[in-house]
Structure 1
């Protein structure tokens, strides 16, 4: 006997699909999507001095959430590089500022997000040993499982999920 879910009664033998037709497979339940936790969120004036301030704020926030030492060193470097790109891209925009967020899904990796008002996208360029700048995105790529940009209504978000 089988249980008929539609009518809630017991019925005869299980229904077998005709030959050549596969049995329907019930869909697997999808776990509900939980919004990531915001470990830190702040707004800063887009100036070179803000890079160090944002980095220290991020490291302090990570420490409050039990993430410190070598782990936070990689995050601090990614924060520095993404914030430096935001400050550079914002040059010439009066009163420019940027937003920094640290997000985490459960106990997973931390994602660093930086918003700035500039429409220009960061782009990695080939390097030589003599270059004094331009290594930021290469460093971010080396420390991250994924990184990129996404447009915002104004400006863009640049993000990196640190390993």
Structure 2
């Protein structure tokens, strides 16, 4: 039997067109295969046995990715903030934004126990939908890193072959 290496949920890396953040948590949407006529009987046969049929339907997945990362105004953290501002007009100016021409491609790499890439998810046509910058300050949590949370929307998610 070949050696098996399992992926861990504690070793991952997020890259969005060169923006690399120190990510603490990343939540990807679930992928669900919808089944047509999966639970209902389609008929009854000999000895009163019912027949069922499960036909694959559509594949559905959420269109949002939630990323919690170390806060700051260094290079990549500032790039994320600038990206968000480009994609959203300020409340006072209103009007158009540059969100369409600022869409990006992101990848989430999940590593196995040996540090090799075990899984990769690619997110196409990404834009930041929400950005919470250090929303909770708490003296009882002294020594913890300040964190920002960003929600990223996308039009397509692909699990790449690695």
TM-score normalized with structure 2 length: 0.31
Tell which structure's C-alpha radius of gyration is larger. 1
Higher relative contact order (CA 8 A, sep 6+): 2
TM-score normalized with structure 1 length: 0.31
Structure with the higher fraction of residues in strand conformation: 2
Structure with the higher fraction of residues in helix conformation: 1
